[in-house]
Amino acid sequence: MRWLDRLACALLALAPAFAAAQAPDAAALYGSHCAACHGAQRLGGMGPALLPQSLERLRRDDALKVIREGRAASQMPAFGDKLQAAELAALAAWIYTPVQPAPRWGEDDIRASRTFDDASRQWPARPRWNADPMNLFVVVEGGDHHVSLVDGDRLEVLHRFPSRFALHGGPKFSPEGRYVYFGSRDGWITKYDLWNLAVVAEVRAGLNMRNVAVSSDGRFVMAANYLPHTLALFDADLNLLRTYAAATLDGARSSRVSAVYDAGPRHSFVVALKDIPELWEISYDPKAEPVYDGLVHDHRMGEALARPGYLGVRRTPLDEPLDDFFFDDAYRHAVGTARAAADGSTSAQVVNLDVRRRIATVPLGGMPHLGSGITFDWKGRRVLATTNLKDGVVTVIDMARWQPVKRVATPGPGFFLRSHEKTPYAWVDAMMSPAKDTMTVIDKRTLEPVRTLQPSPGRTVAHVEFTRDGRYALVSLWENEGALIVYDAATLQEVKRLPMAKPVGKYNVGNKLARSEGTSH
């Protein structure tokens, strides 16, 4: 071999070692640049958690962009001028890898995370502001992680305050409307006093949370987690009472929790599990008979074992797991989406909560978004209407026969459907499609679209909520430099705009507490 060839071979042999020596050490970079805000274990701190589960909704390219350019309207700095391109890429890739050892979040962690303002015990039990507390809107602004309170009579902002990062799901209210509970994707629950405009308590219920529910008597708050696989039950001041392992009775399989809702008339929480074919009901009625741990709560084994039990788990076995779900008006049925079958078809599963089994299957196709369903009367029948996340259609279902009666075509797949008992119209967006700048108004009497609104061409509109009297519809202009667009709900004319930073959702205290048929539970 000539000396030149020998040199080339030697260099080739050394190349991996050079490469390894030069590959950026992502863990060390994270420790020096990110850990102070996002936590040594990536569980979050001043900044959000950076776990694969928390990043599921962020594309990797976007994560790299945030690291490089920072995030406007937050404290996330830009690292583009401090780190090399390879270092930025290594960091962006690393945050999507699982944390080793796997993070745990047990009852001690939950209790240790709680803060409570003792002074809140002395705060006056009346609003500090002059407006109708039952016509107040709580508006979650995702653009800069704030919440605005809007007076639903004057249609003006009363107050604005910072929230936890990435609130998700509807905030929940205490029965008199004084307190609101927010849940963040990172697992934080915040109890806020709307009358005194201040935070009362906070606690971290999990590392990746779905939503929270508040019992209709105001005594309990329940949190549903993806990570860890638990439900966490708190008292009204967010003291942890207990956690429930989201697992089969024999503990062999555990599951993410899809969602928990309060079923007020039943005095219970109803829980859907993402990975286990069971629907749970947890009664907070003190008169409920006890559940005996260790018994198989299966309707097929007879009524003797079918006792709800105070704060115990009553399991309804299903053929397949349910995702998000919806209650009928009487809270006798939960209607949820089951996973798509092998042929891609999707159906709604109707589960009777009293006899504790599936009583109907409604073929729907696409991906119905039942959590955002509404009910109303149509031709003397009670019907349920739902959007579809895959198809531009609103499906209307007869709730007596559990059969679809109409498919209303819309400009594109929509996320949220809304109405109010005092308006003949239902409003639906098309935010999952190129027609994301449109809002379709459907006449509930004819089940025909009557108007397509396009308030800001090219800019997304979504999520509607009505004033307590149903007179105005508030629509989100879902952009960082967005707005709350107020429409006259009868004439469908725009009345005014309140500038907001990506108002993802808005919630009217009175409509929520009255369980208005046109809004989410």
Min dist CB 404 to ligand DHE, Å, is 22
Using the minimum distance from each CB to ligand DHE, give the nearer residue, 182 or 244: 182
Using the minimum distance from each CB to ligand DHE, give the nearer residue, 77 or 218: 218
Report strand pairing: 188-193 vs 198-204: antiparallel
Using the minimum distance from each CB to ligand DHE, give the nearer residue, 196 or 258: 258
Interface residue with ligand DHE among 210, 266, 444, 468 (CB under 6 A) is: 210
Using the minimum distance from each CB to ligand DHE, give the nearer residue, 169 or 312: 169
Min dist CB 198 to ligand DHE, Å, is 23
Q: What CA dihedral angle connects 22, 26, 31 and 33, to 10 degrees?
A: 90
Stretch that binds ligand DHE, among 168-176, 243-251, 282-290, 484-492 (CB under 6 A): 168-176
Stretch that binds ligand DHE, among 65-73, 164-172, 235-243, 312-320 (CB under 6 A): 164-172
Write the CA distances from 349 to 279, 361, 402, 476, integer angstroms: 11, 5, 10, 31
Using the minimum distance from each CB to ligand DHE, give the nearer residue, 83 or 246: 246
By residue count, the chain amounts to 521
Q: Sign of the C-alpha dihedral, residues 481, 484, 488, 491?
A: positive
Interface residue with ligand DHE among 44, 169, 373, 482 (CB under 6 A) is: 169
Min dist CB 136 to ligand DHE, Å, is 15
Min dist CB 415 to ligand DHE, Å, is 5
Q: Which of residues 60-89 bind ligand DHE (CB under 6 A)?
A: none
Q: Which helix (H) or strand (E) holds 91?
A: helix 85-94
* Structure tokens given for 229: 């696989």
Min dist CB 452 to ligand DHE, Å, is 21
Q: Which of residues 29-58 bind ligand DHE (CB under 6 A)?
A: 57
Q: Is the Cβ–Cβ distance between 337 and 378 less than 8 Å?
A: no
Min dist CB 112 to ligand DHE, Å, is 26
Min dist CB 368 to ligand DHE, Å, is 12
Residue 326 binding ligand DHE, by CB under 6 A:
no
Query: Strands, E, within 61-207: which ranges?
Result: 115-116, 136-141, 146-151, 156-162, 172-173, 179-183, 188-193, 198-204
Using the minimum distance from each CB to ligand DHE, give the nearer residue, 204 or 436: 436
77 vs 270: CA distance, rounded Å: 42
* Structure tokens given for 228: 């860890």
Write the CA distances from 165 to 145, 218, 236, 308, 442, integer angstroms: 6, 25, 22, 36, 34
Secondary structure class of 517 (helix, strand, coil): coil
Secondary structure class of 25 (helix, strand, coil): coil
Residue 170 binding ligand DHE, by CB under 6 A:
yes
Residue 518 binding ligand DHE, by CB under 6 A:
no
Per-residue interface string for the shown chain with ligand DHE, residues 446-465, x marking contact by CB under 6 A: -----------------x--
Interface residue with ligand DHE among 190, 211, 316, 386 (CB under 6 A) is: 211
Min dist CB 216 to ligand DHE, Å, is 14
Q: Which of residues 346-375 bind ligand DHE (CB under 6 A)?
A: 371
Write the CA distances from 73 to 76, 126, 291, 502, integer angstroms: 8, 33, 49, 12
Residue 324 binding ligand DHE, by CB under 6 A:
yes
Residue 264 binding ligand DHE, by CB under 6 A:
no
335 vs 42: CA distance, rounded Å: 37
Total residues contacting ligand DHE by CB under 6 A comes to 15
DSSP class per residue in 308-377: --BT-EEEEE-SS-EEEEEE-TTSSEEEEEEPP-TTS--EEEEEETTTTEEEEEEE--S-EEEEEEEEEE
Stretch that binds ligand DHE, among 40-48, 110-118, 130-138, 166-174 (CB under 6 A): 166-174
Q: What CA dihedral angle connects 29, 27, 183 and 273, to 10 degrees?
A: 150
- Return the closest-CA partner of residue 234 out of 277, 198, 284: 284
Residues 6+ apart with CB under 8 A from 128: 195, 196, 197
Residues 6+ apart with CB under 8 A from 492: 425, 441, 451, 453
DSSP 501: S
Per-residue interface string for the shown chain with ligand DHE, residues 123-152, x marking contact by CB under 6 A: -------------------x----------
Stretch that binds ligand DHE, among 101-109, 163-171, 354-362, 393-401 (CB under 6 A): 163-171
Q: Which of residues 489-508 bind ligand DHE (CB under 6 A)?
A: 504-505
Per-residue interface string for the shown chain with ligand DHE, residues 406-425, x marking contact by CB under 6 A: ---------x----------
Min dist CB 39 to ligand DHE, Å, is 21
331 vs 227: CA distance, rounded Å: 28
Q: Which residues contact ligand DHE by CB under 6 A?
A: 57, 142, 168-170, 210-211, 259, 324, 371, 415, 463, 504-505, 520
